[in-house]
Amino acid sequence: MHIQSIPMWEGTGNNYAYLVVDDNSKEAVIIDPANPPEILPVLQEQTDSGKIKLSTIINTHHHHDHAGGNSEILKHFKLPIVGGKDCEKVTKTPAHNSTFTIGESIKVTALHTPCHTQDSICYFFEDGTDRAVFTGDTMFIGGCGRFFEGNAAEMHKALNEVLASLPDDTKPGHEYTKGNVRFAKRVLENDAIKKLEEFAQNNKETQGKFTIGDEKQHNVFMRVNDPAIHQLVGHDNPVEVMKTLREMKDRA
């Protein structure tokens, strides 16, 4: 599979849409194409030249900066929309752990991860030994999303049960890495966090460069069982640790 990150609102929102293409069939899906003026030209060029056959819009959750471009995209491409129940113009909400395929060789598993929003879904993409997960605002590289519609117990389950159980070599998406590293360093000192900081300083994009295995080392929200963090926050119950870390990050 081929994954193309398309930056949106650079300098202000710093969000990404992802175009994922099946190598043989050229069947393609666009994930969270929230800002049509930046997305449509890319889709138009690649469909016109025969590089892709666009089949589906996929949304990770209903927020405007993820699903807010759907109506406009539909004016130009007639596509089904797979996403959480509250996403604009959604046509299908896949059940937790259900699978679908893209083209000949990409298998997608939908993972329900309610918390940032109740309709948040992460999508685990597998093509042979190539694995990626699109996490929307549930997990960032080095961080997690705010608990707008959920609680610490739900985020603990999403990160440390659902996403943590994916193969360690799975590559997660989504940025905001520099801000997350700044916070991680206040909470914990380890080699993985130092490595992530160095990488984020020298590279604009961190998506695709780290794995779920790395997250377990440098993402403090996935280290709710780390004794050094227990000492800092003053308790060791993982859900309470998750709650305290999020409150600290919200104030940061």
| 191 assigned to active site | no
| 116 assigned to active site | yes
- Nearest distance from residue 66's CB to Zn ion, in Å? 6
Three-class SS of residue 9? coil
Task: Indicate the helix (H) or strand (E) that contains 180.
Answer: helix 177-187
One-letter amino acid for residue 154 of the chain: E
Instruction: State which of positions 131-170 bind Zn ion (CB under 5 A).
Output: 137
Instruction: Note whether 65 and 39 are within 8 A (CB).
Output: no
Name the catalytic one among 32, 62, 63, 112: 63
Site track for Zn ion across 57-96, x = CB under 5 A: ------x---------------------------------
Q: Which is nearer to Zn ion, 146 or 182 (CB)?
A: 146
- How many residues touch Zn ion (CB under 5 A)? 2
In terms of Cα–Cα distance, which of 191, 187, 197, 175 is closest to 229?
187
Residue 171 within binding range of Zn ion, rule CB under 5 A? no
Name the catalytic one among 112, 156, 174, 218: 174
Radius of gyration of the chain (CA): 18
* Cα torsion angle, 55, 60, 61, 65, sign: negative
| 64 assigned to active site | no
- The C-alpha atoms of residue 34 and residue 8 are separated, in whole angstroms, by 8
Name the catalytic one among 61, 62, 112, 218: 61
- The C-alpha atoms of residue 189 and residue 211 are separated, in whole angstroms, by 19
Name the catalytic one among 22, 32, 62, 66: 66
Q: Which is nearer to Zn ion, 60 or 160 (CB)?
A: 60
- Nearest distance from residue 18's CB to Zn ion, in Å? 15
- The C-alpha atoms of residue 37 and residue 41 are separated, in whole angstroms, by 7
| 48 assigned to active site | no
Contacts to Zn ion by CB under 5 A: 63, 137
For the annotated catalytic residues, the residue numbers are 61, 63, 65-66, 116, 137, 174
